[in-house]
Amino acid sequence: MFVSPLSNSLAAADIASTLHPNTNARLHEKNGPVIIERGDGIRVWDTNGKDYIEGLAGLWSVAVGFSEKRLADVAYQQMLKLPYYHTFASKAHEPSIRLAEKLIEMTPAGLDRVFFTNSGSEANDTIVKLVWYYNNARGLPKKKKFLARNKGYHGITVASGSLTGLPVNHKDFDLPAIPVRHLTCPHHYRFGLPGESEAEFAARLVAEAEAVFLEEGPDTIAAFIGEPLMAAGGVMPPPEGYWQGIEALCRKYDILLVSDEVICGFGRLGTPFGCQKYGFKPDIMTVSKQIVSSYMPLAALLFSDEIYQVVADNTNKLNSFGHGFTASGHPVATAVALENLAIMEERDLMGNAARLEATFQSGLRRLGAHPLVGEARGAGLIGALELVADKATKRPFDPIGRVGAIATEEGHAAGLIFRAIGDQLALCPPLIVNEADITEILARMETTLERTAARVAAEGIA
C-alpha cells in the first residue's frame, strides 16, 4: 500500500525549505515528496521502506545501477589523493587528461578535442558560446543563429534553455533569449499529415529545414542542434532518412551539426552513440549522464580539430579562452567517469542494450494494444507509451497531463518509477537490466495501465 510521504517529518522540512526543479510548487506543498533513501541495482527504496524498480535510471542516466561499490571506492581514493583542482591557466591532473583521451577514443572519428562542464545544460550553453567565438574568429560575425526542433530538449540555462523547444521551459523565463528557430518535431505519429508515409514526412521536414536555411540566410546560421532520438520531449525516434537529409543540408550550407547525446550516448540506443544509430556525422557532440552514471556531476562537449585550430588561434590573439567553470574536469568526477566507462566495457552494457532491444521494444508494442495507448515507441533501452482519449483519432486527453499524473501515482503504487511527460509515459531502465527485469518492468507497467484506465473511467475523464 502506498504510504503518504507527508507522514515523514523529512517531508515537512522539504516542503518548508526547497523549491524543486520541474515541479508544481503548490502541488508539492499539498502532496509532499517521495523521499528516496537508498538504492541497489535497478531498485530504490523510499523512507517508508517501499521499493521501486527505477524505470527511468534516475533521470535517464544510471547505467551501472544504484549500488556500484567500485565507483564509491574510486571517488574515495581520489578524494584522498587530490579532492579538487581546477583546469584553468594550463593546470591539469591525470583523471581529466585520461578521460579526455578515452572520450576521443570512444566517439566517432573527427571529434578530436574535449571541454568539460558539470551538466549537459552547461555543455550546450558552452557550445553556443564556442560556435559564436569560432565564427567571430573566422570573420563571420553574422553567423550566429541556431536551428533546433520543437519538443527538443537541450538544457535549462539561458542559452541551452533557448535551444530547448518545450513551452514550459520558456514561459515566463523570457526565453528564447538567443537567435534560434525551432523546426517541426520529427514525430510522425503526431505531426505527419493524413496519409503521409514516414518517408514523405522525413522529406517534408528536410525541405522545411532548407526553406528556413534560405529564408534566414545561410550566412547567418551557425549550427543545427538535435538529439538523435528526442528523449525528454516524449521519446520520439526520427523517421528513416531524416538525419541524412539534415546532415546533407548542413554540409551544403556550411552549418555546423551538433549531436546532443546527453541521453542517447554510451549505449542507450544499442550503439555507442545515437548518431551512429541513425547514420550521421556531427561536428560537435554533447555527452553527460551515462558518462558517469550520474554518480557525480559531469558533462563534456567534443568537437573537431578544424574548430579547435580556429579557436586556438583566437585565444593566442586575445591571450586567453575566456570561458570555464570552477569544476571543469573535476578530478573526482573524471576519475569516477573513467571507472564507470571501464565497468560498462567490462560488462558489455552497450551490447546488453542491443541484445535486449527486441525484448523491450516488442513488450512495449504489446502494451501499445491497450485501449489507453495511442502509440508505443522507442529504440534500444528507451521507450514511451503515449496515452490518448481516443485511439482511432489520436485525440489527446484534455487537459494534457492529468492522466499522466494518475499513471504516475498508480506506477508508484505498483512499484515502478517512470516519467510522465504530459501523458507520455517514458521508460529508460539502467543498462544492467536482464531479461527477467524487463519482463517485470513491463508487467508493472501493464498493471499501471489497467489501474489508470479504471480511474479514468471512474472519474469520467475524456
User: Are the C-beta atoms of residues 391 and 20 closer than 8 Å to each other?
Assistant: no
% of the chain at pLDDT higher than 70: 98
Edge-to-edge strand ranges of the sheet holding 43-46: 36-40, 43-46, 51-54, 416-417
pLDDT of 6 above 60: no
Preceding peptide of 237 cis, ω within 30°: no
The CA distances from residue 368 to 314, 377, 383, 452, in Å, are 54, 9, 11, 14
User: Alpha helix (H) ranges present in 138-273?
Assistant: 158-163, 188-191, 198-216, 242-252
For the segment 413-441, the average pLDDT, to the nearest whole number, is 98
Q: What are the DSSP E strand ranges found in 269-372?
A: 284-287, 299-303
CA trace torsion 378, 400, 1, 435 (10° rounding): 0
DSSP 98-127: HHHHHHHHHSPTT--EEEEESSHHHHHHHH
Q: How far is 406 from 222, CA to CA, in rounded Å?
A: 42
**pLDDT tens digit string along 17-70?**
999 999 999 999 999 999 999 999 999 999 999 999 999 999 999 999 999 999
User: Are the C-beta atoms of residues 343 and 70 closer than 8 Å to each other?
Assistant: yes
**pLDDT tens digit string along 138-187?**
999 999 999 999 999 999 999 999 999 999 999 999 999 999 999 999 99
- For residue 97, give the H/E element and its range: helix 94-106
For the segment 208-223, the average pLDDT, to the nearest whole number, is 98
Q: How confident is the model at residue 84 (pLDDT cuts 50, 70, 90)?
A: very high
Provide the sign of the torsion angle of the four alpha carbons 83, 89, 90, 96, taken in this order: positive
Q: How far is 186 from 405, CA to CA, in rounded Å?
A: 26
Q: How confident is the model at residue 462 (pLDDT cuts 50, 70, 90)?
A: confident
For the segment 123-132, the average pLDDT, to the nearest whole number, is 98
In terms of Cβ atoms closer than 10 Å to its own Cβ (0-12, 13-18, 19+), residue 253 is middle
Query: Which residue carries 579526455 as its cell?
Result: 100
CA angle 215, 220, 223 (to 5 degrees): 100
For the segment 430-446, the average pLDDT, to the nearest whole number, is 98
Q: What are phi and psi of 437, to 5 degrees?
A: -60, -45
Q: How far is 128 from 38, CA to CA, in rounded Å?
A: 37
% of the chain at pLDDT higher than 90: 98
pTM over 0.85: yes
How confident is the prediction for the chain on average, in pLDDT? Answer: 97
For the segment 334-349, the average pLDDT, to the nearest whole number, is 98
Q: How confident is the model at residue 4 (pLDDT cuts 50, 70, 90)?
A: low
User: Are the C-beta atoms of residues 229 and 382 closer than 8 Å to each other?
Assistant: yes
User: Are the C-beta atoms of residues 388 and 423 closer than 8 Å to each other?
Assistant: yes
Q: Are strands 180-183 and 145-149 parallel, antiparallel or unpaired?
A: parallel
pLDDT of 1 above 50: no
Q: How far is 290 from 268, CA to CA, in rounded Å?
A: 9
User: Alpha helix (H) ranges present in 347-434?
Assistant: 349-367, 402-413
Quote the pLDDT of residue 7: 58
Quote the pLDDT of residue 2: 44
Q: How confident is the model at residue 8 (pLDDT cuts 50, 70, 90)?
A: low
The residues, ordered by sequence, that sit 6+ positions from 136 with a Cβ below 8 Å of its Cβ are 314
For the segment 333-354, the average pLDDT, to the nearest whole number, is 98
pLDDT of 90 above 60: yes
202-216 b/e with 16+ CB inside 10 Å = b? Answer: bbbbbeebbebbeee
**pLDDT tens digit string along 317-340?**
999 999 999 999 999 999 999 999
Quote the pLDDT of residue 261: 98
| Domains assigned to the chain | 34-64+348-459 (3.90.1150.10), 71-346 (3.40.640.10)
Q: How far is 298 from 341, CA to CA, in rounded Å?
A: 13
**pLDDT tens digit string along 96-127?**
999 999 999 999 999 999 999 999 999 999 99
**pLDDT tens digit string along 260-295?**
999 999 999 999 999 999 999 999 999 999 999 999
